[in-house]
Structure formats: structure tokens, C-alpha cells
Structure 1
Amino acid sequence: MVRIPFFSPNIPWDAKLILHFCFYAAHGSDIVHGEKAPENSLLYMVSLQNNKSHVCGGFLVTEDFVVTAAHCVDSKPTHVVLGTHNLKELQSENIEIGQKIIHPSYQNVGKGDDIMLLKLANKTQLNSRVQTIQLPSGEINLEDNEICQVAGWGKTSSNGPSVDELRVVNVSVINPQKCKKIWHHLPAKVICAGGYGTNKGFCQGDSGGPLVCKGKAVGVVSANRNYICNYPDLPNVYTDISKHLEWINKVVKKGMNN
């Protein structure tokens, strides 16, 4: 089980850092005040699993690469599940993880760069159930209060049960300067959205899932506040994908040539 770290707004992230995030059949966090995702949507969503169960979320960006959060490595995922919204569905596709490539600057969630690429042991076949999602082509400028989406398999409240069916919720982007004032010592290269001034956001079990804005994956679910998902609370924090594109493209290109 992986747990999303929770930090006090008045204490440096490193001082309150909890490295084991609660991501379980609803990793990173389940979706709070969301709804079941329609079957023909979010076909890029991936469930990272170990020998026991779902531990984190992720998303397919090529036929053999998945993006997720670096801290999800602590849950020791062994394979991914694609092509289903229901984790109990037998028709889903299971593929072993070949390589776990953590961003070279990652130390812990509190210091940022919480992103990892998974090279799958075998390529998946893109079809009516499995699709990739586009990443930004360059630097992004999200607007304050821009409506985006986050999805995952997780709890729907701090102490609630985990879910098997994928859920999704709309969240609003929070001004980065405002977020820094709320989260002292906020790492660089992150996006804040949801969880603050609203009752919507992610919870235990959604780590590694994507923040999707205008049809592109712009963020990776990274951290919330001490496993607490009773929003409104503090902003949810995502790794900014656009700040890591050079590394992503380099790894993927190298992987395609191997």
C-alpha cells in the first residue's frame, strides 16, 4: 500500500514527509466527490499492481511506456493492468514491468521530480479498449481556475472503502503563487489543482495518475495532506510534466531503439 504524503502548511515538506503514500486499488488517492468514468473514456488509464493488488495509477504514453509517480516504486509494482475500468474484470490486459526508470533528480516527494517511466516487458496493442494520451509539446501555461480532470481507483474519502471501478472528477487549477503561500517550501516544477476551496480532489490510491487539461496529460498525482481527503483542505500537488519533457523524450527514444 502506498500513501500520499501529507504536509503541514507551516512545516517544511521534508520535516513532515511521509514517503509511503496510500495507493491501493485506489492509489495516490481515490477520487473524492467524483463519478464513475464512462466505459469508452480514459482509455489511457493504467493500474500498477504488485502480487497482491492495485498500488498506484499511471497512464500509457506509447505502446510500451507508462508514466507514473516515482514514489510508487516503494509499493514494488510488478505488472500493469490496461483495457479496463473495473479491476475485477477478467478481460483486462496484464503486462509485466520490464524497467522502472525514476527521474535522476528524485529524492523524495518533498523535493519534487516525483515522476517515473515504466518500460513494459511487451508492447500493448492499441485498440478500442487501450489508447495512449498525448503529453504537452512544450512549456504549458495553465489558467487560474482552468477545469481539468483527475481519475483513479481509490478511496472516496479519508477512511472510506477502496473501489474497483475507475472514477473521475473535475478539479480547478490553483494559481502557483497562491499555492506556494499555502504550502511552505513547495517544490519547483509542480502544479496545484483541487483539494482547496472545493470538496473535490484525489485521495489514497490515485498516485501516479494523470491530471488532464484540454485532452493532454499535464501533471502526475504526487501528494496531498497526510492522507486527509476531507476537502476543502490544502491544494493537491502534481508533478508538472512539461518541466520533464526533455527527460521523458530521451528515455522513450532510447527505449524504442533497444
Structure 2
Amino acid sequence: MMHAVHDLMFLYLLTCLGQNGHGSEIINGKNVPQNSMQYMASVQINGKHVCGGFLVSEDFVLTAAHCYKNSPMEVVIGTHNLKKVNNNKMRYSVQTCKHPQYDKVVSGNDIMLLKLSRKLQLDKKVKPIQLARKEIKAKDNVKCQVAGWGITETNDKAVDVLRWVDVPLIDLNVCKKQWTFEKVTLPKGVICAGGIKSENGFCQGDSGGPLVCNGTAVGVASFNMKKNCIYPNRPNVYTDISKHLSWIKNILKKKQC
């Protein structure tokens, strides 16, 4: 009975967050300079941005599993401005590879690989990002950023130009305690950054984007609190990439789900 009540509370939380528990856009951020963050990808359905993602090889983009829709999905790679897309060169249809243990955000494993319909050409505008090999912790005192095309304030509209912001890592024990106030038990294998200790964080439309620390992707944006991007409130939650490296590498090696 207690498990059922917990699940209902979390479903309510995700409903408040937005469809499928999407996170948010970049709060208090700036436009990303040209010729930087060349790994960023826009995950789209019917030509509309739904989530962020990031290039991890010539064939694959990494994003959040909750971004999956039972509709043909595409990614746009090679531009920071979603109004300036060369469909022949920048748009790719994809095959979805959700983590086999993903069920819902409350269960964790909120991670998904997207196999591109064709191998892309790496150049100064398109470069994959290195993935973290080990768990990162707040005590490591590293500088981290999150980027995306999401909304820039609660109930606002999404942006066309990619934005980024610095976010502080949050100690996992502090993060867990903060989320107990929402009657939420965090799943295993997550990282917390932003949302508290600063006014910076992500918002609707930023789910699936990378948490980048010292130039390395360490997390995948998963969820924030009740669609509320007026920070500080509760820590933003990311899937810990280091916990899924073997699964990622296996798919990249086989080049199929």
C-alpha cells in the first residue's frame, strides 16, 4: 500500500513537471558562443524540439529515456539556432535504444541512445563529447554547466538559440533530504546540480541535455520540481552516466540496440 501511495505522489509530481516528466530550459543563462558545445543535439518530433541530447560518437546521440515518444523521432545536429537548420545536412532520423531497465523516472535508468540514420561528418561544427569514466561528487569542487533550448522562465516559451548556465554540484545526501520534502525517494544512479545554492538550473525542454564538468559529460538532465523553474527550490536531478558506461559502450561497439 505504501509503495502505491509513493508512486501516486511521484506521478503527481511528474504531471506537475510537464508531459513525461520533462525537465526545464536554462534559467539565468547566456547564449552559447559559436564553435563551442558542438556536441549539442535537438531531439525533435514533427519538426519541433522536445528534448536536448548530445553527440557521443559518429553514429549515436545520448538523451533521457523519458523523452521517448511512440512517434518517429529525429535529431538536429550542427547548429545552435533551431531556425537555421539545413535539413539535408543537419537533420537525422533515429532508432531509439532505451535503457532496458527503464520503466519510469521514479525507477531510475532515465537514459536512452539514439542511433542516427547515417554516420555524420565530424567537423568544426560537429564534435562528440567525452563521457565520464567515474562517478563525480560535489566534494570534487569542479565547474559544471548545463545547456539547452528549453524555456528561460516558468510558463515561458522555448528559445531558438542554444543557452547555457553554470550550476553547482549538490551533495547527494543533501539532495536526497531536499527531495524528501516532496515525498520523493530519489532513484539510484543520479547526480544533483543546480536548483538550490543558486538561482541557476534547467527548465521544460532541457531534458536529455548533458551536465558537463571540466569538458566531460557526467549526467543526463532528468527532472526538476513541479514545472517550477523559479530557483532555488529543489535540486535538479541528472542520470549518472558513469553508472551506465558498459551499456553505452556495448551499443556503440555493436552499432545497434
- TM-score computed with the length of structure 2 as normaliser: 0.88
| Amino acid in structure 2 at the alignment position of 1:157 | E
The counterpart of 1:29, out of the listed 6, 24, 27, is 24
RMSD after superposition: 2.1
Deviation at 1:19?
A: 6.4
| Amino acid in structure 1 at the alignment position of 2:144 | C
Whether the 8 Å CA contact 1:144–1:174 is kept in 2: the answer is no
Counterparts in 2 of 1:19-98, with a 5 A limit?
22=18, 28-74=23-69, 76=71, 78-91=73-86, 93-97=90-94
| Amino acid in structure 2 at the alignment position of 1:236 | N
Runs of 5+ consecutive residues of structure 1 not aligned to the other structure: 1-10
- Relative to 1, partners in 2 of residues 1:254 and 1:208: Cα closer, same or farther, differing over 3 Å? same
Does residue 1:104 correspond to 2:88, yes or no? no
Deviation at 1:40?
A: 1.2
Structure 2: how far apart are the matches of 1:75 and 1:157?
Answer: 28
The residue number in structure 2 matching 1:4 is none
Taking every aligned residue pair, what percent have the same amino acid on both sides?
53
Deviation at 1:77?
A: 5.2
Does residue 1:157 correspond to 2:153, yes or no? yes
- Relative to 1, partners in 2 of residues 1:102 and 1:139: Cα closer, same or farther, differing over 3 Å? same
Counterparts in 2 of 1:100-249, with a 5 A limit?
100-143=96-139, 146-184=142-180, 185-249=185-249
Whether the 8 Å CA contact 2:130–2:215 is kept in 1: the answer is yes
Structure 1: how far apart are the matches of 2:99 and 2:199?
Answer: 32
| Amino acid in structure 2 at the alignment position of 1:101 | C
Number of aligned positions between the proteins: 243
Whether the 8 Å CA contact 1:200–1:231 is kept in 2: the answer is yes
- TM-score computed with the length of structure 1 as normaliser: 0.88
Deviation at 1:141?
A: 4.0
- Relative to 1, partners in 2 of residues 1:75 and 1:225: Cα closer, same or farther, differing over 3 Å? farther
Deviation at 1:88?
A: 0.4
- Post-superposition Cα deviations, 1:163-204, rounded to whole Å, max 9, x if no partner, equal 100000000000001111111311110000001131100000
Runs of 5+ consecutive residues of structure 2 not aligned to the other structure: none
Deviation at 1:22?
A: 4.4
Deviation at 1:100?
A: 0.6
Whether the 8 Å CA contact 2:142–2:214 is kept in 1: the answer is no
Query: Does the residue aligned with 2:114 lie in a helix, a strand or coil?
Result: strand
Query: Does the residue aligned with 1:47 lie in a helix, a strand or coil?
Result: strand
| Amino acid in structure 1 at the alignment position of 2:45 | N
Whether the 8 Å CA contact 2:17–2:225 is kept in 1: the answer is no
Deviation at 1:90?
A: 3.3
Whether the 8 Å CA contact 1:28–1:209 is kept in 2: the answer is no
Structure 2: how far apart are the matches of 1:228 and 1:119?
Answer: 32
The residue number in structure 1 matching 2:9 is 15
Structure 1: how far apart are the matches of 2:82 and 2:57?
Answer: 22
Whether the 8 Å CA contact 2:26–2:148 is kept in 1: the answer is yes
Whether the 8 Å CA contact 2:137–2:169 is kept in 1: the answer is no
- Post-superposition Cα deviations, 1:115-157, rounded to whole Å, max 9, x if no partner, equal 0001111011000110000002334445365320000001001
Whether the 8 Å CA contact 1:145–1:174 is kept in 2: the answer is no
- Post-superposition Cα deviations, 1:58-84, rounded to whole Å, max 9, x if no partner, equal 000000101000000037452110100
- Post-superposition Cα deviations, 1:210-230, rounded to whole Å, max 9, x if no partner, equal 000011000000000111101
Whether the 8 Å CA contact 1:21–1:71 is kept in 2: the answer is no
Structure 2: how far apart are the matches of 1:141 and 1:12?
Answer: 28
* Bigger helix share: 2
Query: Does the residue aligned with 1:32 lie in a helix, a strand or coil?
Result: coil
